[in-house]
Amino acid sequence: MKQNIYDNPTFFEEYRKLRDSGINYNNFVEQPAFKETLPDLTNKKILDLGCGMGEFTRYCVTKGAIEVVGVDISKNMIDVARQHSSYAEISYINSSIEELKLPIGYFDVVVSSLALHYIKDYSDAIKKVNNCLKKGGTFIFSIEHPIVTARKKMDGWITDENGDTLYFPVDNYQEEGERTQFWYIDGVVKYHRTFSTLINQLIINGFQLEQLVEPVPIKAGLDAMPKIKNELRKPSFLIVKSTKLEGRDN
């Protein structure tokens, strides 16, 4: 059974409030850096794995994409995405990444924003992406940073008796696997993987690494959300840009 926290009513309501407010790490840290890594999307066919409420699929169309497929495990999310989208270029599939069937060598660009840390079998997901990409195509994904997912007790920054932030605790780094966290609801499961696993699995499965980004907050974020300055002390996200090797068979 794949985890589907976004169809939990409590989680979905809180998450939607967070995204609708505009005051969040996505808007101020992850998405600006993610968008900077994109190639020219004009006339491109794009797959968005974990498309959520469809903000990014719509963004792709405004940048000239001719076909965008958004995939999400959550029916709630896909329903919102469809309500907001009147673009003929976009279609949505309500499926887990694990159960998804995709055409071979079809897409120019595959993106996945903050979804792959929910996937148990990372290597299988990478193989799937490689199969559905054209040779030379681009795969860009973001995930929670290994520094953040490492410690099994995922309770965040260590503070002193005055509540001042001291440092971020790392532990259990080499023990990959499930991490369970409270995030609006109990029992949200993420998967910790080391840097080396994240990058080596890409390379082993036919990608060439192009760029890594550990994003820092944009200026507007520092103004609107003061605690975001802690991003300079510890990265929350890792963005990985890669290319499907030309010599790779489909």
**Minimum separation from the CB atom of position 148 to a copy of itself (A):** 10
Asked if residue 207 lies in contact with residue 200, where contact means CB atoms within 8 angstroms, the answer is no
Q: DSSP letter for 224, please.
A: H
222 binds a copy of itself (CB under 8 A): no
178 binds a copy of itself (CB under 8 A): no
102 binds a copy of itself (CB under 8 A): no
Contacts 24+ apart (CB under 8 A), 171-177: 173/146
Q: How far is CA 76 from CA 69, 82, 119, 168, 190, in A?
A: 17, 10, 19, 34, 20
Please pick, from the candidates 36, 167, 180, 187, the single residue that binds a copy of itself as defined by CB under 8 A: 167
Using the contact rule CB under 8 A, the part of the chain among 8-16, 35-43, 127-135, 169-177 near a copy of itself is: 169-177
171 binds a copy of itself (CB under 8 A): yes
210 binds a copy of itself (CB under 8 A): yes
Tokens of 73: 């495990």
48 binds a copy of itself (CB under 8 A): no
Please pick, from the candidates 170, 177, 187, 220, the single residue that binds a copy of itself as defined by CB under 8 A: 170
**Angstrom distance (rounded) from CA 73 to CA 75:** 7
**Minimum separation from the CB atom of position 161 to a copy of itself (A):** 15
Asked if residue 134 lies in contact with residue 206, where contact means CB atoms within 8 angstroms, the answer is no
234 binds a copy of itself (CB under 8 A): yes
**Angstrom distance (rounded) from CA 31 to CA 28:** 7
- Residues that bind a copy of itself in the complex, under the rule CB under 8 A: 147, 150-151, 158, 166-175, 194-196, 199-200, 203, 208-214, 216, 231-235, 238
